[in-house]
Structure 1
Amino acid sequence: MDNLTTRHKDLLKMLLSEEDYKSMNYYSSILNVSPRTLYSDINAINCSIKNFHMEVDRKPGQGIKLVGNLSEKMELLHSLSSSKEKEQTFSTKERQLEIARLLLVEEKTISYQKLSDYFLVSKTSIAKDMEVISSYLNEETVSIQSNKKGTKIIGTEVQMQYSLKVFTNLLLEENKCLAEEDFFKVGPKILKKVYPDKIVEMAFKISNDIENTLNVDLSDHYLKSLVVTLIVFIYRISKRNHVYFERNFVFEEIKTLETYLIAKSILEVIAKELNIGFSESDIDYLNRQLMAHGLKPKIKNEAETKKYREIVSGIIKEMSTVMHVDLTKDQKLFDGIIFHLIPMEYRLKMGLRIQNPLLNEIKTQYSVTFSATWYVMAKVEAALDITLTEDEVAFIMVHFQAAIDRNMQVKKILIVCPTGIGSSELIANKIKRFLPSQDIVEVVPMRKVYENDIDNVDLIISSVQLDINKKPVIYVSPLVTNSDLKNISNFYADIFYRDNSLENGIEKYSFKHLSEVLDMDFIFAGRSYNSKEECLMEIIKAMEEKQEVYDGFKESILEREKLGTTALESGAAIPHASPETVKNSKVAIMTLKNFIRWDNRYVNTIILICIAKKDIHKIKNILSEIYQIVENKDNINHLLVGKKEIEIFEVLGGVVVD
């Protein structure tokens, strides 16, 4: 009985005096602890009273009861009475851990006097204990706050979970569970003294499932860390505590999407088992923890992936042609797409839809890569007999963008102003034309520059003064003049050794790639239609009459429209056809006298992109020039709206032949 604490013995005495089942709340209110703590106490008690052939029985809806015959109960009571109840049952280290448990796990507000009474030590000893506990705290952990009501911990949910991991590792250390091999043998028993059995078992099982699902072999060190992370995370989720924090820069956020679906599936299992909900931030937080533990999917075996290998090799080769960068030797890209493709086929054929949390940001800031991914994935739809969704395409795009970043000198540029909108949008729209199309330009509010790590940022352009020294910053006026643009161009060239220039200080539009696929027969100016169907059907009819397309052209456009809106906030819609259905590459343009509703937005300009399979290498440049036009309303109005067919043709670089 020596391994039982005073509270354990008090609970046993109460159970010995009761003949019927009593609820956990009944005992917890008397002992002033939570029912969850009593569950851990009961596990410890049952281990200690096995020799008496007794156990504390639990019945759902009824409570708990000590089961045993009268003679066994008398023997147990005699054993309890003969022990020195007043002797200290905690070592100094155990007492400190128990105080930490009360603060962190139970989230109690405690007083030095109550702790002194409970542990049978002086208040001075408790004060020293608190000093030791405080020594483990830092900026990443919670902090201890004391007032008239008592002592408690305060901090964010991220700090709370980090602190619980520190506490849990100290608990394992105190129980001589130092080596990783010991952790998997005796760790569960130790952890169940603090956390509910179900959560501990769930964490070990999920860790094992992750290794099998991703086909990875984590080192014992990382696996132990992952189990502790999951126990803490699941425990906090079970108590309805959720993580909330600001998102990082988009170019950093998309890196996490490779394991996003794994984190989401883990949370779905947890939510189902514990009958609780979870937030998008919870997925994001868990996903970051998975990535921190080096979890990346690997292909299990060639037999399982045989039918996908040729498909994936084909789309990577095609994307290399489209984006003008060789991605064919990138094994990480190959494995990542195959790993996504297999469950994706199952989801789509079963009618299961997933949501990409960064879909809108991806469509806005990675518009060229996103649209190019739609094109190259057309052959996947045909090969697997599936219909893609925007969300699935966005997930695939993430793999391509990551590979492009690895294989090209992609620059990450921030545009900053006090609000992150307004003047910064104006700056972004103007300067994008003078930067390489693969560069990532992101508009952010000033606070985000200070809240996030900017190590991966290459250049900052700002309309307000910043206290930044470790990254190059160029300042511009809120309205960004031609002089500002020239300075940006020269500054960029000086830093990155590129030759970008402005002619005579005047903004110049160049549509040399778009002009190659323009045709006067497919420019429709100032039309009066009331629906997107009417607009599309006129363009489709003209294409079919001129025999520029194959059978299935119309269907491919209409099917794409069902999958997600092609309308942009700028007032333009950019539908496109499958390359397999296009005979000769064309870009059709239609302007309207009045705005019409196009899904969830209003548009007055339609640009139908029809690129033939033979011209797949031209897609990137054509898309880049189209997005220059449609990125804002001013460009659309300046270049297209209100103009006649011949004027649109000429302003976009078309040459009229007499």
Structure 2
Amino acid sequence: MNNDYVDSKQRKFWIVKRLLEQEHLSYQQLSEDYYVSRSSIANDISYIKDLFSKEDLALTFDNSGTFFKGSEVQIQKILKRIVLNLLNNGQSTELFIEEELMEKVSKGLYHALNEKQIEIPESYIQNIIVSIVLIIQRAKEDHHIHLEGTNQYGQFFLEFDKYPLVYGLLNELEEQNIYSFSQEEIQYLTYLIVGSGLRFFMKEDAIPFTFRGKVRFLIQKISEGLQMDLTQDSRLEEDLVVHLYQLILRLEAQSSVVNPLIDEIKQTYPALYGVVWFGLADFCKPYQIALSDDEVGFVSIHFQAALERIKKMHKILFVCPNGIGTSSFVSAKIRRILPDVNSIETVSTSKLEGMDLSDVDFIISTVEIAAAEKPVVRISPMVTVKDMKCIMNQYIDLIIAREQNTLPKLEVASETKEFIARNIIFQNFSSKKAALNFLIDQQSFSDKDLQDKFKQSVWEREGLQSTYLDNGFAIPHGSPEFVEKTTISILILDKPINWGNQKVDIIVLLMIKEEDVRKVEPVMELVMQGIEDKNWFISKMMEVKK
């Protein structure tokens, strides 16, 4: 490699590549190698640390410099995240993967899927292709993956004879002399492929009933947190049963997916994302699995889709003086282009006067209406193409207006202020342990044993998965069974402390009783707003503090 020609945007990727090749790199060495300042290298390393943290991995430092000490599976997780991000942004991936190999694997896998009539979502196919390419490419360099441990779900799938079916897909690549897979590699890819196309590989009624029950409980808890009943949405349940089951299988392969919409999801639906994140933390605890932001984002999309299904319009009022025949004709046309409308009520012009229009979204009329309280779309009795476009435009404007009205506003609700005001603390601690123990010791417990149990449950959760959220925020929480009084404490530090593989300076301790889950939503919305604008959050906490 000639370092003279390394573009500044590409430099960080070259450094990642060298770290994954087990090099120990000092800032001074990198500065000399790439002819840039140490501060430029520091920025590159900061980016790389953030990249690794998305997979809950960290760089290591010693006297020889910075290096990465991890398994082959972890190395391939990082490589896959980089490659998928580059592909999603339309950028070249040649630094990390052989493009000719990528094309061969892609053609071979698509041919096998079409031949066996297997349908897998396009985004997951890309994930599978990149995984296969990395396995082949790294194996040629004598880097082989080794799975560590199995769980009940991986074994469950293998009992359903999916292993030979996946082998049949991979055999297409072997027959083209692209690569001969080892048994361990086939097992790894079985978890990944079946976990990406569960609807084809397995009948949904074969999923354990107990798992379905846990998904229903998750929906109930998130419904309580959102203060919106989603428990009757059968589509949400079916989609989540499949999605969460295949998610567990993907994690069995120590694999992950990249969600290209994750930043947009957090910004557009901050409260929803926060409540789903909180609910999934409890859901995943028995399975000893840790979820990435990407996975939480995908689950959030399912819940947002369910919320959209219950956000239907109230009513459209159709004003027509031309008789029942015309009104029925027009109503049928409207229903055809606006299938989600709850009701279309037909009234005469005389009846319109003095009518309560509070639950009406807009009015469609074949006659002129003066001084109407609601928006009016004037159409002809024959409902032309132009008329239909006007109706659709009004419908779209209404939806956009509603979305804008529901965007989070940077203000702390009065109820939330009262809830957190006495538990906002500005102080410094040198470690995660000291900060967490301090926060828990500040709370009221009827006896020391209960406090110890709650503290233990907090640390158990931290051991399973870091409660770091983003931008220096951590949301530790323990088991509700040890909580006597719902309390939320916020600790703001002058200097950040280590929180696993991240740095944290704002800690929000959640002590939530089962029956008070609804109180999570406004707090999570506040936290997500704080992640977007930390200075705003700190100033608001200073205002609210009593």
Please give the TM-score of this superposition, normalised by the length of structure 2.
Answer: 0.45
Normalising to structure 1: TM-score of the pair?
0.38
User: Quick check: which has more Rg, 1 or 2?
Assistant: 1
Tell which has more relative contact order, 1 or 2 (C-alpha 8 A, sep 6+): 2
